Amino acid sequence: MEQILYFERGEFDARLASVKAEMSRRRLDFLLISEPPNLNYLTGYDAYSFYTPQMGIVALDRDEPIFITRGMDTTSARITTYLSDSSIHGFPDNYVNSSERSPYDYVANVVREIGGEKATIGVEMGGYYYSARAHADLIKALPRASFVDADLLINWIRLVKSPAELVFMREAGLIGDAVIKRVVETAEPGVRECDLAAAAYHQEISGTPELGGSYNSSVVHLGVGERALAPHSSWTDKPLSNSTVINIEVHGTRRRYQINVSRTICLGKPSPGYENLADVAIEALNAGLDSVRPGRACSEVYGAFQKALARHGLEKDQRIGYPIGIGYPPSVAERTASLRKEEKTILQPGMCFHMMTGLWLGDQAVTITQPFAVTETGYEPLTFTPRTLVVK
């Protein structure tokens, strides 16, 4: 069967070496990987199969990871990973949603087979796909092993993107630009909110003529009128009115690498007060971006943004950004370094963020944002849509 692998083997080897080095430093014999983006990062695995249990295993003394998934999904593992067949295990279907059998017993058996009965095992305690049940079942099945929280171990390594990854981040950005363009073209009075969202989805998946898109980790966030004040709200069936504010967050996803970008579109002329708020939001966004430098802390970027806001008597007490990269539901955000007041992480070239400087203030909301990569000297925008309020 034809393989679909988007990176050279050397890239995967380097990633595995980094993970093993960190495991050694923490004295972990094994690392159990439940997070879909971490599995994709280490093995290439890509299929929408993570809604049933699956697990990657890195053992310090083994050359390649082991991957365990539902039997029917081993086909995807053979297509999308570099793993040899002997490293791919499929559990029987009667383990799925069963009250009698736990897939984690199956995982524990594999761990035992490769000598992990008394090992020190890192697990992703805060992962989206590592439930309280998963942890309880594993502890019960491996009573002589010791379990250590290794949440975000791989996420922190993923934070700095390689040149090959940055290629996909830039391509994702081009798709994101095409989506915003399509949304701006489609937004007209009388168009149903759902049809505006549908146009965004169509472009996200279609991509550009050169670059096919993919599904993304989240949904289009579309707040219209009053609902523009609800950051993660959805669309309705209602037609857009002659005079309204549309806040929309869309994505570009290329080979699982994803950017997020938001814009505000006004149908009809906005009030001078609203235009002024948008100007302030853009000024602060640009101030944040201009402050990006390798060697600076995330908190300094927040500080530059907040200083610009404060000149106008405003404050945003939420974080103004999160790291982006490989996107699987429910979120592309890597859960590591946020751009916010207290975040001490130092910026390095190759880190990618969505500077999400949305303002939801009283009865007004503006969401004009910018995904970017940290470069040797500052930042590289990953989308090129002008940072302006769109008025139609």
Q: Which of residues 285-324 bind a copy of itself (CB under 8 A)?
A: 317-319, 322
What is the DSSP track for 206-256? Answer: H--SSS-----SS--EEEEGGGGGSTT----SPBP-SSEEEEEEEEEEETT
Q: Least Å distance between CB 341 and a copy of itself? A: 7
Query: Token pair for residue 49?
Result: 């199969």
Stretch near a copy of itself under the rule CB under 8 A, chosen from 14-22, 59-67, 69-77, 274-282: 69-77
Counting beta carbons within 10 angstroms of the beta carbon of residue 235, is it exposed (0 to 12), middle (13 to 18) or buried (19 or more)?
Answer: buried
Tell me which of 110, 205, 297, 314 binds a copy of itself, using CB under 8 A.
Answer: 205
* One of 60, 160, 198, 297 touching a copy of itself (CB under 8 A): 198
Q: Which of residues 176-195 bind a copy of itself (CB under 8 A)?
A: 192-195
Task: Give burial (CB, 10 Å; 0-12/13-18/19+) of 143.
Answer: exposed
Comparison of 225 and 294: residue with beta carbon closer to a copy of itself: 225
CB of 241 to a copy of itself, least distance (A): 13
Phi, psi of 348, rounded to the nearest 5 degrees: -135, 150
For residue 213, give every residue at least 6 positions away whose Cβ sits within 8 Å of its Cβ, in sequence order, or none. 175, 203, 204, 205, 206, 207, 252, 253, 254
Q: Which residue has the tokens 């095409």?
A: 178
| Span near a copy of itself by CB under 8 A; candidates 58-66, 212-220, 269-277, 304-312 | 212-220
What minimum distance in Å lies between the beta carbon of 252 and a copy of itself? 13
Smaller CB distance to a copy of itself: residue 71 or 386?
71
Under rule CB under 8 A, residue 6 binds a copy of itself: no
Residue (of 9, 60, 38) closest to 159 by Cα position: 38
Residue number with CB closer to a copy of itself (229 or 297):
229
Q: How far is the CB of 201 from a copy of itself (least distance, A)?
A: 4
Tell me if 220 contacts a copy of itself by CB under 8 A: yes
Residue 236 or 375: the one with the smaller Cβ distance to a copy of itself is: 236
CB of 343 to a copy of itself, least distance (A): 9
Binding residues among 137-176 for a copy of itself as defined by CB under 8 A: 149, 151
Q: Select the residue interacting with a copy of itself from 67, 91, 201, 353 (CB under 8 A).
A: 201
Range in contact with a copy of itself (rule: CB under 8 A) among 278-286, 287-295, 338-346, 376-384: 338-346
- Could you tell me the end-to-end alpha-carbon distance of the chain, in angstroms, rounded to an integer? 50
Q: Tell whether residue 335 is a contact of a copy of itself (CB under 8 A).
A: yes
For a copy of itself, which residue of 18, 20, 60, 79 counts as binding (CB under 8 A)?
79
Q: Are 87 and 66 in contact (CB under 8 A)?
A: yes
Build a one-symbol-per-residue string for 35-54: x at contacts with a copy of itself by CB under 8 A, - elsewhere: -----------xxxxxx---
Question: Which range in 56-64, 87-95, 257-265, 287-295 contacts a copy of itself by CB under 8 A?
Answer: 87-95
Q: Which of 57, 49, 51, 59 is nearest to 24 (CA)?
A: 59
Shortest distance (Å) from residue 87 CB to a copy of itself:
18
What are the φ and ψ backbone dihedral angles of 271, each rounded to 5 degrees?
Answer: -70, 155
Q: Which residues contact 77 (CB under 8 A, 6 or more apart)?
A: 43, 45, 47, 67, 69, 83, 88
Restricted to residues 223-262, the positions that interact with a copy of itself (CB under 8 A) are 226-227, 229-237
Selected from 18, 109, 120, 206, the binder of a copy of itself by CB under 8 A is 206
The least CB distance from residue 213 to a copy of itself, in Å, is: 6
Q: Residue 56: how many CA atoms within 13 Å on its side-chain side?
A: 27
Look up residue 35 and give its two tokens: 């997070």
Specify the 3-state DSSP secondary structure of 121: strand
- CB under 8 Å to 53, separation ≥6 — which residues? 34, 70, 95, 103, 104, 107, 129, 134
Q: Which of 10, 63, 94, 362 binds a copy of itself (CB under 8 A)?
A: 94
How far is it, in rounded angstroms, from Cα 65 to Cα 44?
Answer: 11
Residue in 120, 299, 331, 364 binding a copy of itself, rule: CB under 8 A: 331
Distance CA 97, CA 92 (A): 12
